[in-house]
Chains A and B, each alone.
Chain A
């Protein structure tokens, strides 16, 4: 059963076709990597899937709802309810502690619950760092807080934009292990990356070039 489906999606800025008639689908529970050089349309696709932009043409079905024609207010609601976001730059609120940053996500979604937020931090191995400010955490720790923040509301889809781009190898492995765990629990993961190693951790890799799907690669070694 597909969670996400793009049908003939184009995004055109003046003369530039950032996305050119792209079609793809992602099944429920699938772990997909999107690769491509810069300018290939990765960010544009990420914005559209993340309900932060709308395509010029085509349909985008997320959980059966066409999000390509929704108002930006509805898009905000859909993003809040269904999607967990992870960014390359981590993006924490710098004057809030780790646990408070996780709670911000709960706050906008439903109800802040400190105990639940602490459990999420425990999951990423940072319970004892809960009262630290972002400036007191390493890059890897910040990204793990962001993973905790992304999963706190149990989203159907976790959308990660170069999640390991600013991390060393040890931290990269920690984050990828966390993704593997989430995948096992049935969470759908879409990871945008230019790092082949990160892409190889996924079940399937979609390669974008010049705004089009150049090829799809099934990872034969997945889970082995």
Chain B
């Protein structure tokens, strides 16, 4: 028999035949390793999980037409080429217009969209009924449905009253006495602000109406209601200079600038185009808790039938990529195309990055504490083991064991415990992570094969480290103690 085999035989005998004490040490290493492996698994998986979580709050990129340009489905398709297909979760085009429901003397914002894409970029949309699948079908926001009393299966007649812009006149030429002007400009977050002006006999502003419902209600959204803000436009001569002729609405600089741009680019309108009316069936009622509840959603085909144009206002994209990568895609889209630009929805991408950062720090801290606690526990147990085995250690030394042999034997036991604990922790840790993931994130995780060897190595290192002090004690034991007839 070789020395190594005898060494292993002694170590395994020590662990197997002195079970109760070793079980405590094994348990502490095992639990430590379990938590370690679990946290690392979650840590590795969290970016994926968090990404999915954040995307469920909505799109993280917008594609908009450049000022004065038009966005249509061909340009959108071209822009989407810049994003790898496996990272593009969904791309939903939108076109917003006002539609009238003449029978109820109501008017709503209607959004033309692609219903196959909506659930991908707006997973939080909650539908009572179903998404429209055919033309002449609509999805109605909860707020509207409550007001006009429709439900899934109801029919509604919607009319598009075109406000056509006079093609012959530039904004400057439009500013004739008593003219009615309309203009629009992009405001905060890509939403469009509409203005209509009535000029008096001196070509100064007589009345102004602002539609800012695409803006944040408590900031830019006030532009349509704030009396003192609206009153300052009256009697002003066009064009206006923001900050000189008119003051900005407090807390809504972007919206205020959009209003001024819309006024300065407003052109004469003629209400002489024939209105279009179509009959729709309601397939579902939409609940979101947000402004979407005040919209009616219909297919882009129906939108084109009503307005006679296939242009788009915006496309919402959900892309599975980190903040930096998103920025790269957005830049590529904006630079390569002369007519569209991509913009990130910063709120989502930024908070994703910062939450991830905090989570990383938290996982790191918890891991550190767990490792420390494990070390204390193993060290204490080994210390108790050493004092319990004082006599045996003394005997071994009396039989000729050097300090090195004693060190080797205890280290061997420690490493063996670390190995067993690591295997146990690697397996249980995955189960632990799986349970946490299913309960917290509601999705399962994949096993990382590399995790098992890493957990084993870390727990062996921890076990070895914990043994240092107890081993020092063991080596210092005096062999003469076995001779005293105690």
Q: Give residues in A with beta carbon < 8 Å to B.
A: 43, 46-47, 50, 52-53, 73, 76-77, 79-81, 85, 87-89, 91-96, 100, 103-109, 111-114, 133, 149, 161-162, 165
> Known contacts A76-B402, A100-B9, A108-B405; is A93 also within 8 Å of B483 by CB?
no
**Given the contacts A100-B9, A108-B405, A89 and B485 also touching, CB distance less than 8 Å:** yes
Contact yes or no, B14 A161, CB < 8 A? no
Q: Which of B398-442 contact A (CB under 8 A)?
A: 398-403, 405
21 A-B pairs with CB atoms under 8 Å apart are A43-B483, A52-B478, A77-B400, A79-B398, A79-B400, A85-B398, A85-B399, A91-B482, A93-B10, A94-B392, A95-B18, A96-B10, A107-B7, A107-B10, A108-B401, A108-B405, A112-B1, A112-B2, A112-B3, A113-B1, A133-B17
Chain B interface SS verdict (over half)? helix
Chain B residues 1-25 with CB under 8 Å of chain A are: 1-3, 5-7, 9-10, 13-14, 17-18
- Known pairs A79-B398, A94-B392, A133-B17; A114 contacts B1 (CB<8 A): yes
- In the bound complex, residues from chain B placing their C-beta under 8 Å from that of A165 are 485
Residues of A within 8 A of B341 (CB): none
Interface centre among A47, A87, A108, by most chain B C-beta atoms within 10 angstroms, is: A108
Residue of A nearest to B393 (CB): A93
Chain A CB within 8 A of B377 CB: no
Q: Is the CB of B2 within 8 A of A111?
A: yes
A52 touches B402 (CB 8 A): no
Asked whether, in the complex, the Cβ of A103 is within 8 Å of the Cβ of B483, the reply is no
Tell me the bound Cα distance from A85 to B480 in angstroms: 11
Interface size on B, residues (CB 8 A): 32
Nearest to B395 among chain A residues (CB) is A91
Q: Contacts A95-B17, A162-B485, A165-B485 given; indicate if A50 touches B398 (C-beta within 8 A).
A: yes
Q: CB < 8 Å: which of B17, B479, B483 contacts A161?
A: B483
Q: How far is the CB of A198 from chain B (nearest CB, A)?
A: 14
A103 touches B395 (CB 8 A): no
Q: Tell me how far the C-beta of A90 lies from the nearest C-beta in chain B, rounded to whole angstroms.
A: 10
Q: Which residue of A lies closest to B403 (CB)?
A: A73
Report which B residues bind A (CB closer than 8 A). Answer: 1-3, 5-7, 9-10, 13-14, 17-18, 391-392, 395-403, 405, 478-480, 482-486
A106 to B5, CA, bound (A): 13
Q: Is the CB of B10 within 8 A of A104?
A: yes
Q: Which among B18, B398, B478, B484 has the highest number of chain A CB atoms within 10 Å?
A: B398
With contacts A85-B482, A91-B392, A111-B2 known, what are 18 further pairs, Cβ within 8 A? A43-B484, A46-B483, A50-B480, A50-B483, A73-B402, A80-B399, A85-B398, A88-B485, A89-B486, A91-B398, A92-B395, A93-B396, A95-B13, A95-B17, A100-B10, A107-B7, A108-B401, A114-B1
Give every chain B residue within 8 A of A76 (Cβ-Cβ).
397, 400-402
* Residue on B nearest A112 in the bound complex, by CB: B6
What's the Cα separation between A95 and B14 when bound, in Å? Answer: 6
**How far is it, in angstroms, between the C-alpha of A94 and the C-alpha of B10 when the chains are bound?**
11
Query: Given the complex of chains A and B, what is the CA–CA distance between A76 and B1 in angstroms?
Result: 24
Tell whether, in the assembled complex, residue A108 and residue B399 are in contact, meaning their CB atoms are under 8 Å apart.
yes
Report the minimal beta-carbon distance from B326 to chain A, rounded to whole angstroms. 62
Across the interface, name the chain B residue whose C-beta is closest to A53.
Answer: B480
Q: Is the CB of A52 within 8 A of B479?
A: yes
Q: Which of B2, B7, B10, B483 contacts A87 (CB 8 A)?
A: B483
- B485 A107 Cβ-Cβ under 8 A: no
A91 to B397 Cα, complex, angstroms? 12
Complex-state Cα separation, A88 to B482, whole angstroms:
9
Closest residue of B by beta carbon distance from A135:
B17
Q: How far is the CB of B132 from chain A (nearest CB, A)?
A: 76
Nearest to B1 among chain A residues (CB) is A112
Within the assembled complex, what's the spacing in Å between the Cα atoms of A24 and B133? 112
B480 contacts across to A, CB distance below 8 A:
47, 50, 52-53
Report the bound CA distance from A100 to B18 in whole Å.
16
What is the CA–CA distance of A96 and B9 in the complex, to the nearest angstrom?
9
For A109, the chain B residues whose CB sits under 8 A away are 400
With a cutoff of 8 Å between Cβ atoms, the chain B residues found around residue A106 in the complex are: 6
Contacts of B401 in A (CB 8 A): 76, 108
